[in-house]
A and B are shown apart, each in its own frame.
Chain A
Amino acid sequence: MEFQFAYFVDQLINGVTLGSIYGLIAIGYTMVYGIIGMINFAHGEIFMIGTFLTVIFFMLIIGTITFFPLAVLIVLLMSVLLTSVYGWTLERVAYRPLRGSPRLAALITAIGMSIFLQNYVQLLQGARNKPLTGILEGKDDILRVKYDLINTLNAAGQPYLVTISNLQLLIIILTVVVMVVFSQIISRTALGRSQRACEQDRSMAALLGINVDKTISMTFVMGAALAAVASLMFMMHVSTTDFFVGFLIGVKAFTAAVLGGIGSMPGAMLGGMIIGLVETFFGAYFNQEYKDVATFTLLVLVLIFRPTGILGKPDIEKV
């Protein structure tokens, strides 16, 4: 009984950690969909670029900045900045010229950009895995520090210890902080109001003097910034990346956005959490190999029984 509970808590921590990463990426899909009604299939690649930038920046500064938390902060800021530039450029170069053309054209372009970015990174960085472990070389020990939560015995009578690590705490706390800051931006700032206005009635927003193109650009920048935060977490968690890493994670984050209700920010975070938890629990209790199948089965079920997602609103409210 006690062990069952301990095992559950252990998986819960893993699931929430993973869900945080998915949720942060899912917000990028949902925000872009909300404002221009397009699935930005290249968003997974923006995340992938974030993972590479994380590795590159760690490589550049880890020799000089010996205080590890400061190094993480600097890498985070630089990676957020540069990944945002990629997000901005993607919209500017590939999507803006197509504004007003049929949806299919934008969709094909998005898939094209996704493939282009994969090849671009493959060409620049090679096709092999890029590990972060060698670069950090134990300098990140502080992240592995663990706190005991539950100390019990498993079924075979051996000790079973549930812990939470500094890394897991960092991921969860950073996600909460980022989420709070973002929802404040959306609900209280002029930029957030402009974004919501553009979502609800773009030409009316322009009629009030809002620069719609700039607002859309900022939405891509914000989505990319969140993906960059997620990629730093991912790299410290999983430690390795390659040019194709954005595909599966992108699909899962997109699933999270749809599950939560595409267009809804809290929905994206909730969807991310659910996907992270379902994947972790399915792997832990049933079958590790088939955890992705569980995730996508869930998506299909939601689409059948609640097509607007969990927190999505039916479109009838639109005027």
Chain B
Amino acid sequence: MSGTSATMLELRGVETFYGRIQALRGIDIDVNHGEIVTLIGANGAGKSTTLMTICGNPRAATGKIVLDGEDITRMATHEIIRLGVAQSPEGRRIFPRMTVRENLMLGATTGDPANFDEDLERMFELFPRLRERADQRGGTLSGGEQQMLAIARALMCRPRLLLLDEPSLGLAPMVVKQIFDVIRQINQEGMTIFLVEQNAYHALRLAHRGYVMATGNILMSGTGQELLANPEVRAAYLEGGH
């Protein structure tokens, strides 16, 4: 494990704008080595913006983002990714006219080519559907398969930090379970994960710690258990089932 501190990712007072619209209003977040940390909140709260700001697109207007002691606030996106950050973004954003295999090859852009075959095999074990679909174009996959591909693509570079944006969105419960099982499994093998979810119940049960976000602010944080038990959280994000 690199670095001496337990913190892998540190956001301090981060503000992000889209033109004149302020999407993040000075947020503080920590993600420690080996953790699953989740960020929950309603639609439009600023969750995706948080993940994208970590990756430098859009860039934070003020505040500081530190990865294992290195200030990445002003870095270009591809340089941040080269430091070992990978994201499965909102909407999956699979390359529709490329095959599953090519999408995975692109995921390995910053990885060590010597690991490629082994990692590809590993992804096919985690997501057997992708093996069957290996030579099919990304655009022909179902929503669940695209989500699996998006996660697998992010894992292909062997990141130290995996950012996941709403991996359960729009998927059947069976598929959601399958994907959350994989998230748990790779975390147990050591991967640090920052998970954005609207599906608060599942996310908080899975995560070590969580943050609650609304209109660009962090309202609350705590362990997954604490937040699950918190009446405000229950009222706002959990009532009415999950």
Interface string of A299-319 (1 = CB under 8 A from B): 000000000000000000111
Interface string of B101-117 (1 = CB under 8 A from A): 01001110110000000
A290 to B106, CA, bound (A): 49
- In the bound complex, residues from chain A placing their C-beta under 8 Å from that of B81 are 206-209
In the bound complex, do residue B98 and residue A206 qualify as a contact, i.e. CB atoms below 8 Å apart?
no
A211 to B110, CA, bound (A): 10
Interface of chain B residues 144 through 164 with chain A (CB within 8 A): 153, 157
| With A206-B57, A207-B89, A209-B157: A190-B98 Cβ-Cβ less than 8 Å | no
In the bound complex, do residue B89 and residue A204 qualify as a contact, i.e. CB atoms below 8 Å apart?
yes
In the bound complex, do residue A319 and residue B93 qualify as a contact, i.e. CB atoms below 8 Å apart?
yes
In the bound complex, do residue A211 and residue B95 qualify as a contact, i.e. CB atoms below 8 Å apart?
no
Interface residue? B82 (CB, 8 A): yes
| With A207-B77, A208-B106, A209-B157: A317-B96 Cβ-Cβ less than 8 Å | yes
> Looking across the interface, which residue of chain A has its beta carbon closest to that of B56?
A206
Interface residue? B55 (CB, 8 A): yes
- In the bound complex, residues from chain B placing their C-beta under 8 Å from that of A230 are none
Q: With both chains docked as a complex, state the minimum distance between the C-beta of B97 and any C-beta of chain A, in angstroms.
A: 6
Q: With both chains docked as a complex, state the minimum distance between the C-beta of A287 and any C-beta of chain B, in angstroms.
A: 42
Interface residue? A201 (CB, 8 A): yes
Task: Tally the A-B contacts, defined by beta carbons under 8 Å.
Answer: 67
> Looking across the interface, which residue of chain A has its beta carbon closest to that of B55?
A207
Interface residue? A197 (CB, 8 A): yes
Interface residue? A107 (CB, 8 A): no
> Looking across the interface, which residue of chain B has its beta carbon closest to that of A201?
B93
In the bound complex, do residue A200 and residue B89 qualify as a contact, i.e. CB atoms below 8 Å apart?
no
Q: With both chains docked as a complex, state the minimum distance between the C-beta of A210 and any C-beta of chain B, in angstroms.
A: 6
Q: With both chains docked as a complex, state the minimum distance between the C-beta of B138 and any C-beta of chain A, in angstroms.
A: 9
A204 to B102, CA, bound (A): 14
Interface residues on A, range: 20 to 34
A203 to B55, CA, bound (A): 11
A152 to B98, CA, bound (A): 52
Number of interface residues of B (CB under 8 A): 26
A209 to B82, CA, bound (A): 6
- In the bound complex, residues from chain B placing their C-beta under 8 Å from that of A318 are 96
Interface string of B69-99 (1 = CB under 8 A from A): 0000000111001100011010101111110
In the bound complex, do residue A201 and residue B95 qualify as a contact, i.e. CB atoms below 8 Å apart?
yes
In the bound complex, do residue B78 and residue A211 qualify as a contact, i.e. CB atoms below 8 Å apart?
yes
Interface residue? B13 (CB, 8 A): no
* Residue from the list B96, B97, B109, B139 in contact with A208, Cβ < 8 A: B109
In the bound complex, do residue A206 and residue B77 qualify as a contact, i.e. CB atoms below 8 Å apart?
yes
In the bound complex, do residue A193 and residue B105 qualify as a contact, i.e. CB atoms below 8 Å apart?
yes
Interface string of A200-221 (1 = CB under 8 A from B): 1101111111111000000000
* Residue from the list B93, B96, B98, B109 in contact with A209, Cβ < 8 A: B109
Q: With both chains docked as a complex, state the minimum distance between the C-beta of A233 and any C-beta of chain B, in angstroms.
A: 32
In the bound complex, do residue A196 and residue B96 qualify as a contact, i.e. CB atoms below 8 Å apart?
no
Q: With both chains docked as a complex, state the minimum distance between the C-beta of A205 and any C-beta of chain B, in angstroms.
A: 7
In the bound complex, do residue B97 and residue A200 qualify as a contact, i.e. CB atoms below 8 Å apart?
yes
A193 to B87, CA, bound (A): 19
> Looking across the interface, which residue of chain B has its beta carbon closest to that of A206?
B77
In the bound complex, do residue B97 and residue A196 qualify as a contact, i.e. CB atoms below 8 Å apart?
yes
Interface string of A169-207 (1 = CB under 8 A from B): 000000000000000000000100110110011011111
In the bound complex, do residue B89 and residue A208 qualify as a contact, i.e. CB atoms below 8 Å apart?
no
In the bound complex, do residue A212 and residue B95 qualify as a contact, i.e. CB atoms below 8 Å apart?
no
> Looking across the interface, which residue of chain A has its beta carbon closest to that of B87?
A207
* Residue from the list A193, A197, A210, A319 in contact with B139, Cβ < 8 A: A319
| With A209-B157, A211-B78: A200-B109 Cβ-Cβ less than 8 Å | no
In the bound complex, do residue B95 and residue A203 qualify as a contact, i.e. CB atoms below 8 Å apart?
no
Query: A201, A204, A205, A208: which has the most chain B beta carbons within 10 Å?
Result: A208
- In the bound complex, residues from chain A placing their C-beta under 8 Å from that of B106 are 193-194, 197, 205, 208, 210
- In the bound complex, residues from chain B placing their C-beta under 8 Å from that of A205 are 106
Q: With both chains docked as a complex, state the minimum distance between the C-beta of B111 and any C-beta of chain A, in angstroms.
A: 9
A84 to B44, CA, bound (A): 46
Closest 9 pairs between A and B when the two form their complex, measured CB to CB = A209-B81, A209-B110, A206-B77, A204-B93, A209-B109, A200-B95, A211-B78, A208-B109, A209-B78
Interface residue ranges, A against B (CB under 8 Å): 190, 193-194, 196-197, 200-201, 203-212, 317-319
Q: List 9 A-B contacts (CB under 8 A).
A: A197-B106, A200-B97, A205-B106, A206-B78, A208-B106, A209-B78, A209-B81, A210-B106, A319-B91
